[in-house]
């Protein structure tokens, strides 16, 4: 469920949070230790940042660190209401370990994320990956864009951005 050997580095966290100040609302998926959350919190107002983290210990810690943001201690696909009324320019920032999630979690999670991107022309999902391939396959009218590569991370990570057909 974690899919990483170490928390995201400062360089990766900064790169993942880039542009968050221009989004109407930001949802972070799989915040873990809060390394990326810290950078997001510097760029957007707390009431415009929501965090989803199913690990109860990590979620408790995040609530302590970011007391003014909404923090849901569940899996992303278990909180569809959070994604229901987002602004057109909402940003999803994900550390979800797609390659190690069980099938019964991956399928509804991808369906949820594609649905969100489909309902706002300026919505984006930012995701990092350690692999050369895209984090998950998408229908032909969605597109993964390669963004920067962050070498100062263990292991080095590539950032991808997914946009939809909206
Ligand atoms: C790679 S780790 C987090 C890395 C994070 N950037 C950090 O620096 O700590 C992935 C996180 O995703 C969480 N996670 C796993 N499955 C999830 C799901 N279905 N929805 C939301 N979060 C999930 C795990 O609990 C874990 O904290």
Sequence-separated (6 or more) residues with CB below 8 Å from residue 120: 86, 87, 88, 89, 90, 166
Residue 83 located in a structural domain? yes
What per-residue confidence (pLDDT) applies to 73?
Answer: 98
DSSP state of 80: G
- pLDDT bucket at 2, cuts 50 / 70 / 90: low
Q: Ligand 1 pocket, 71 CB below 6 A?
A: no
- The tally of CA atoms less than 13 A away on the side-chain side of residue 108 is 9
Residue 5 located in a structural domain? no
Q: How far is the first Cα of the chain from the last one, in angstroms, to the nearest whole number?
A: 31
pTM for the whole structure: 0.95
Looking at residue 144, which CATH number applies to its domain?
A: 3.40.50.150
pLDDT in tens, 132-161: 999 999 999 999 999 999 999 999 999 999
Residue 2 located in a structural domain? no
- Residues 17 and 90: their CA atoms lie apart, in Å, by 13
Share of the chain above pLDDT 90, in %: 91
Residue 148 located in a structural domain? yes
Compute, in angstroms, the gap from residue 53 CA to the centroid of ligand 1: 6
Q: Ligand 1 pocket, 106 CB below 6 A?
A: no
What per-residue confidence (pLDDT) applies to 4?
Answer: 63
The ligand 1 atom nearest the CA atom of 36: 6
Range of the domain at 71: 10-163
What per-residue confidence (pLDDT) applies to 20?
Answer: 97
Residue 3 located in a structural domain? no
Q: How many domains does the chain have?
A: 1
Is residue 120 pLDDT above 90, yes or no?
A: no
Compute, in angstroms, the gap from residue 12 CA to the centroid of ligand 1: 15
Residue 4 located in a structural domain? no
Residue 111 located in a structural domain? yes
Residue 1 located in a structural domain? no
What per-residue confidence (pLDDT) applies to 166?
Answer: 63
Q: Average pLDDT, stretch 114-139?
A: 94
pLDDT in tens, 59-81: 999 999 999 999 999 999 999 99
What per-residue confidence (pLDDT) applies to 59?
Answer: 98
**What beta strand segments (E) does 64-121 contain?**
70-72, 91-94
């Amino acid at each position: 469920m974690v899919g990483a050997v170490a928390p995201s580095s400062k360089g990766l966290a900064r790169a993942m949070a880039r542009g968050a100040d221009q989004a109407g609302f930001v949802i972070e998926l799989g915040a873990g230790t809060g390394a990326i959350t810290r950078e997001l919190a510097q760029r957007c107002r707390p009431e415009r940042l929501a965090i989803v983290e199913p690990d109860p210990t990590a979620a408790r810690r995040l609530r302590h660190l970011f007391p003014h943001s909404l923090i849901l201690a569940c899996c992303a696909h278990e909180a569809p209401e959070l994604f229901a009324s987002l602004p057109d320019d909402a940003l999803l920032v994900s550390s979800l370990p797609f390659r190690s999630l069980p099938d019964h979690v991956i399928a509804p999670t991808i369906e949820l994320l594609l649905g969100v991107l489909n309902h706002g022309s300026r919505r984006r999902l930012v995701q990092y990956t350690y692999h050369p391939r895209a984090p998950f396959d998408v229908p032909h009218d969605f597109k993964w864009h390669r963004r920067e590569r962050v070498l100062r991370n263990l292991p080095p990570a590539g950032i991808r951005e997914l946009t939809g057909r909206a």
